[in-house]
Amino acid sequence: MFEFLRNDKLNARNFFSTTVPEFRRNQFGGTVGGPVLIPKLYSGRDRTFFFFSWESYVQRQGSTGLDVVPSTAMRQGDFSAFAPIKDPLATGTFFPGNQIPLSRQSPAALKAQAFYPLPNRPGPNNYFVNTASASDTQTPTVKIDQRFGSRDSLSFKYLESFDWSLTPQNIDLSFGGNARDHRWTTGLSYTHMFSPTVINEARFSLTRGPTDTVGLHQGVNYNAQFGIPAGPTDPKLIGFPEIEISGDATLGEPFQWPVFQTTNTYQTADTVTWVRGPH
């Protein structure tokens, strides 16, 4: 059995942070193996053997960062602190005082703007964020070996890996995603000795890996709420749109989410070993 521990109680504070971000990591597990013995029913000594292991990885980690979000003045259309802004609907003219009238502001943009957090620190990088991510992995393994005599043996193995993670996205934990990855591999090998110098081993294995990543807002049609036309309507595809403003933090979930895929890998092989000569 084993246990490996890391903890924020043992960490120093980041220079830009007022606290030590959360950090908890535990890796633990164990192994057991030997001959298969069933009292009064079966004795596998020198014939049937088993091996079993389990490993768990559990982590909770906080992270800090600086980003840029719209200021209170910008939210009201006041861009007087910036270079003159041209009016895109009137050639060669600028907005008076760099003030964009409310009547010219997009209703959809105003609704989406409400999801941007307010600045919480002075300076150009006006938003300090402290988020936390989580990840868990469980990995069981089973192996069984069977000898049928001095010439034949069979080996079977099975391995699974359950991965789950919750990741904050950009500026706001609520725009993170759930990622689930369930992989398993099974293999079978058969060895036959034709003679002490000629051995054949046949192997077959299958690996299957279903995985999916979905945003925490999946299934909610924010495009319709904001008044953004078109876009997907399938409940499996709709969610919070990704909004990018040059120089500011990205708002929303990655445009490529959700992701659903399954990969199957089959492998077969046969190896013949023939030993010639005295070596």
pLDDT digits (tens, 9 = 90+) for 185-231: 999 999 999 999 999 999 999 999 998 888 878 888 899 999 988 88
Distances (CA, A) of 66 to 62, 63, 83, 122, 177: 14, 11, 24, 11, 21
Residue 258 has pLDDT above 90, yes or no: no
Instruction: Give the list of residues 6+ apart from residue 125 with CB closer than 8 angstroms, or none.
Output: 66, 67, 68
Q: Are 253 and 169 in contact (CB under 8 A)?
A: yes
pLDDT confidence tier of residue 180, bands split at 50, 70 and 90: confident
CA-closest candidate to residue 241, choices 65, 130, 115: 115
**Could you tell me the residue ranges of all domains in the chain?**
2-70+116-274, 71-115
Percent pLDDT > 90 in the chain is 48
Would you state the pLDDT for residue 110?
A: 92
Calculate the CA 177 to chain-centre distance: 8
Q: What pLDDT is attached to residue 170?
A: 53
pLDDT of residue 131: 78
User: Which range among 5-9, 48-52, 99-103, 220-224 has the greatest average pLDDT?
Assistant: 48-52
pLDDT attached to residue 168:
66
Q: Are 22 and 62 in contact (CB under 8 A)?
A: yes
The answer to whether residue 173 scores a pLDDT higher than 50 is no
- Tell me how many degrees the CA angle 263-136-19 measures, rounded to the nearest 5: 135
Question: Above 80 in pLDDT, residue 47?
Answer: yes
pLDDT tens for 120-132 read: 889 888 888 877 7
The share of the chain scoring above pLDDT 70, in percent, equals 97
The answer to whether 214 and 178 are in contact (CB under 8 A) is yes
pTM above 0.75, yes or no: no
